[in-house]
Amino acid sequence: MDLSPRPAQLGQGDSPARGVLGSRLLSDARVRWGILAVSATAAVLNGVVSLIVLGTPGELVWIAAIATPVLVGAVVMRRRPGHPLAGFFVLVSLASLSQLAETLIVVSGTDRPSTVVGLLLLSQLCAVLSTIGMAVVLGLYASGVVQRRYERVLLSALWALVLVPPVVLLSVRQVALPFYFDTAPFDNPWLLSPVTLAPTVGSTVVDQVFLPPLLLGLVLLLVRYRRSDANDRRPMRWLLLPVFVTLVAAATQLLIGAGEPRWLISLLWLVTAVSLVVAVGLGLLQPAGVDVDRVLRQSLVYALLWLAIAAAYVGLGAAVGVAAGQRLSIGWAVTLTMVAALAFQPARAWLGRLADRWVFGSRPDPAQAVARLGAALADTYDLETLLPLIESTVRDGLGLEWVRVRLDAGSASFAADGGSPESVLEVPIVLDGSQVGVIACGPALSGRLTDSDRALVETFAQQAALAVRNVRLA
């Protein structure tokens, strides 16, 4: 995979992420590499403590997974050090330091409450900083450009969440550690506030502080996606990768419920978090030569749908076999099952095409469009049929808003609004050295027309010229 960066362009009225609070500090390369160094050291120490002191080698999997932002952040810093979001992405790596603080809590135990509270505060602060970093990355993804004033205001306001952990820890009478520590609440040696909170209230407040920034980042991401053109949307689609994994994790948890194996649920959600970090990193890097749509189409979502289709296909065949086996001999039951499988084959193919259209829409395939038009024009000798056929084929094959074909011997037009808007591309239809018409194209439904699109329209024009000759000779 070529990770050579593609140049980013700022649109008119756009400004880099420097307008977001904290961006100036995080734009310093020394600060970024310092954060990565601290996080990497924390991940290594966490592994050593878990393996040697606690004797839990199984934790190494989780430690390595949570350290993923360190590795991906280092690649982003090497390949795209000037990216506006590089600093905020590096901030996500502080999750490793948060995890190390929790491991040290287990080592120290509750016999030293002051140390435990200090480590808990460190863990929560690092987790909040990591969450803020991811929220900013999502909110300004993938260019890192502030396009609206409200983006700068909302994302800058997230830094107020850093005050929540210390305020809560200074206000609770008893400290309640997270449920996975399996310890009872203990008296808070750091209590300073005259207004005290119950342990459950304090822990609930801290637990809920991570969700709002992530939701804000996702909402801003959706808004940016809707107003972006095709070129800006392409790197954003890398985030379909964690969406797929999230769907699998949610479906698995729904099927398993509260039963065993719980480790499988935890593993799937951990893979979800890792896939989010990797997908965000790929969007920032925008590796040359990698088509995100092709990757997603040929692997994750498409594979999931085909898995569901195959499961239904096998299930229907098996159901027929079971029903037959209750009334017929084994030989007849097997034969009937094979016949049912063959009978369901056309249904499986139809479901596959339906799933493809449902996920990816009606995907223009230029090569297929050229082949279909050539085959259709070979048997067309009527201009009233010829012109609409050329128009619809060019429009659907390139994903255009409208197409008009004009010939000297007749004309036809199509436009989404019923009018005659200005064309963005016109290609002449030439027959025996003379222009006999023109194909006028409207704007693309997404993005801009490229040189390859023009070459494709010229191919359509050549086919149209041959069809005109057929009409004249008929």
Distance CA 19, CA 16 (A): 7
Question: In terms of C-beta distances under 8 Å and separation of at least 24 residues, what long-range contacts does 364-372 make, across chains too?
Answer: 364/396, 364/397, 364/398, 364/399, 365/397, 366/397, 366/398, 366/456, 368/397, 369/393, 369/394, 369/396, 369/397, 369/398, 369/456, 370/397, 370/456, 370/459, 370/460, 370/463
Q: Say which range, 163-172, 242-251, 267-276, has the weakest mean pLDDT.
A: 242-251
Judge whether 31 and 87 are in contact, CB under 8 Å: yes
Give the pLDDT band (50/70/90) at residue 311.
Answer: low
Name residue 403's beta-bridge partners: 441
What pLDDT is stored for residue 320 in this prediction? 47
* Amino acid identity, position 118: G
Question: In terms of C-beta distances under 8 Å and separation of at least 24 residues, what long-range contacts does 420-424 make, across chains too?
Answer: 424/449
Q: Say which range, 86-90, 139-143, 309-313, has the weakest mean pLDDT.
A: 309-313
Residue range 224-255, pLDDT digits in tens:
988 887 777 878 888 887 877 777 666 666 66
Judge whether 229 and 160 are in contact, CB under 8 Å: no
pTM above 0.75, yes or no: no
What pLDDT is stored for residue 256 in this prediction? 62
Residue range 207-217, pLDDT digits in tens:
788 888 999 99
Residue written as token pair 């460190």: 122
Residue range 334-374, pLDDT digits in tens:
554 555 555 555 655 555 555 555 544 554 556 666 676 77
Residue range 40-96, pLDDT digits in tens:
999 999 999 988 888 888 788 888 888 999 999 999 999 888 888 999 999 999 999
Closest CA to 181 of 104, 237, 241: 104
What pLDDT is stored for residue 325 in this prediction? 45
What pLDDT is stored for residue 74 in this prediction? 94
Closest CA to 225 of 240, 205, 244, 208: 240
The maximal CA–CA distance of the chain, rounded, in angstroms, is: 99
